[in-house]
Amino acid sequence: MDKDLSPEEKQQVVEEFDRFMKESILQIGNEIREEEGLPPLSMEDMLEGSGKD
């Protein structure tokens, strides 16, 4: 990571990466759920941990 980033810029990079990872996990999880005949989860479902069917 570039050492010239301000703390605010570093925080933004972390938040963007976090969001990207969550979206990727959600997409992969929903592909698996679809194969198993389960309804897809929303981001809110995943974050709440309510996807325990």
The tally of domains found in the chain comes to 1
Would you say residue 39 lies in a domain?
yes
25: which 2 tokens?
């996990």
Low-confidence ranges of the chain (pLDDT < 70): 1-2, 50-53
Would you say residue 26 lies in a domain?
yes
Q: What is the pTM of this model?
A: 0.68
User: Under DSSP, is residue 50 helix (H, G, I), strand (E, B) or coil?
Assistant: coil
Would you say residue 17 lies in a domain?
yes
pLDDT in the model for residue 47: 80
Q: Radius of gyration over alpha carbons of the chain, in Å?
A: 15
Would you say residue 2 lies in a domain?
no
Domain that holds residue 32: 7-49
DSSP 22: H
Would you say residue 1 lies in a domain?
no
Would you say residue 23 lies in a domain?
yes
Would you say residue 19 lies in a domain?
yes
